[in-house]
Amino acid sequence: MSTDVQHDGPLRRRPRDRYRRRLVASLTVFVLVGAAAAVVGSQQGPRLRDVTYDPSGLVSRPAQRVILTANQALQRVDADAVTVTPAAPHTVTSSGNTIAVEFAGPLAYDRSYAISVAGVRAPGQPAMSVLRTTITTGSTDVLALVPGAPGGKDRIVRRSLDAGGATTVYQATGITEYARLGRSLVVVRGADGSSTVEIVPLAAGVQDDSTPVERLTLPTREGRVTALHVADDGASFGFEYADTSTGQSRDVGLYLVDMTGTHLPTAIAADGRPTTGAVPMTVAQWAYVPRTESALVRTGSDDLALVDMSGRSDPVRLGSATFLHGFVGTGTTAVVETGTGIVRLDLTNGRRTPISAPEGSTDAPYLGRIAQLGDDTYVRVVGDVRADGTLAQRIVRVDGSRAARLPVRVPDDASVTAVCPSPNSQFLAVTTASASGVLVSVVDATSGALEASVQASSVDWCGALPSGDEVG
């Protein structure tokens, strides 16, 4: 008897054969699609996949980057292949599939910048492409201190120049100084010669009521805190402190609070190093050097020192000065006053260069602080004495060898207490005081045109300027 299997029709294919054929077909499609994509990619060149940047950082700090990410690896991109419109000084680096455009200084507020990268190609591919993007910088805002009515609360408010009104960030009695500290505020409060220092947490730009305010333990039972400054990276802040527990000011000097440590104020000793329990270095003026952990200090004896607040390096002695006016650009140069004039002090080598002082910038009995706007540009308050003994003040802008009055009106019954440039030097905050109260006017640093005003005694832009006993 036969054992052969009889079929009524054609032989049926096994499931394994059908799977094998489908797999081959799918792989063939993938190979063809990949090959086609490779051909298209080699013909079109790289394309832009992503752009990242910090809009607020671009207007407030130098050395900020815009990162362009392509869809594939790139050959090295030369600096002359990148165009920024409107023009802004920048450098270019590239690695892998990214291109970093780093701007030398802060950009203008609320402005669009077009970035174009020409001649971009992938390694081993002939096709070139142009990567294009447009970035928009952040809008300016200031933190201002609005004094309260007698016995009432003072307010720290945020005021944007492109919108009306102000938002209360924090309020309390007796606020004397404040500074931004990352996502917090450092607030100094005081009365009758005694101060407290508080770290106020913020959420969405205002006080975070769900997180308690931290009150620091100060070096003595009672003391007065002045000249508050915060490092750019928010990792530390410092202030001058005077022990007033005996009814007199003693051991007046510089203290540091390391936010990565215990938050306990530590004295900067006479040798320029943070030392617990030490007698502090005497200070007449001081401020953090922009973008660093170092501070430029004018001591009580008018000696100048560059102090590493972290204590890792010895202080650098830089001669003497009778007043610190501020910093130029990115901070490697300071403007200081000596017994013979005002000079630019290079903090990297100690070299001093006389500052430009054309006719019209010094021919007045009263000469105020210099507020540096650029390498060769600054403003200064000057004044003449009226017949009744009051001071008629005006703001002079110096551009290289030319000095001209900036058309900012100062009322006859008011006095200018501060002129502070915005972080990108586009605007000036002009603070005036009169019998009717205090006022901060934000004006264009070039034209003098009024941009905004707020009934306040100070703004946070002034926090970058060296402060001390001589600064009211």
pLDDT tens for residues 351-405? 999 999 998 899 899 999 999 998 889 999 999 999 888 889 999 999 999 999 9
With 0-12 / 13-18 / 19 or more C-beta atoms within 10 angstroms meaning exposed / middle / buried, residue 134 is exposed
What is the residue-averaged pLDDT of the chain?
Answer: 88
What pLDDT is stored for residue 246 in this prediction? 83
With 0-12 / 13-18 / 19 or more C-beta atoms within 10 angstroms meaning exposed / middle / buried, residue 23 is exposed
Q: What DSSP state is assigned to residue 245? A: T
The phi and psi torsions of 444 (rounded to 5 degrees) equal: -70, 130
How many CB atoms neighbour CB 338 within 10 A? 17
| Distance, CA of 465 to CA of 141 (rounded, Å) | 18
pLDDT band at 447 (very low <50, low <70, confident <90, very high): very high
Q: What tokens appear for 448 in the block?
A: 């003098």
What pLDDT is stored for residue 36 in this prediction? 44
> Do β-strands 98-103 and 90-95 pair in parallel, antiparallel, or remain unpaired?
antiparallel
- Average pLDDT of the residues in 150-177: 90
| Distance, CA of 167 to CA of 72 (rounded, Å) | 45
Digit-coded pLDDT (tens) for 95-142:
999 999 999 889 999 999 999 999 999 999 999 999 999 999 998 889
What pLDDT is stored for residue 429 in this prediction? 95
User: What is 48-136's CATH topology?
Assistant: Immunoglobulin-like (2.60.40)
Q: Where are the domains of the chain?
A: 48-136, 356-472
Digit-coded pLDDT (tens) for 30-52:
544 444 444 444 567 999 999 99
Lowest mean pLDDT segment, chosen from 20-24, 139-143, 203-207, 369-373? 20-24
- From residue 252, alpha-carbon distances to 94, 224, 243, 404 in Å are 50, 9, 7, 41
20, pLDDT greater than 90: no
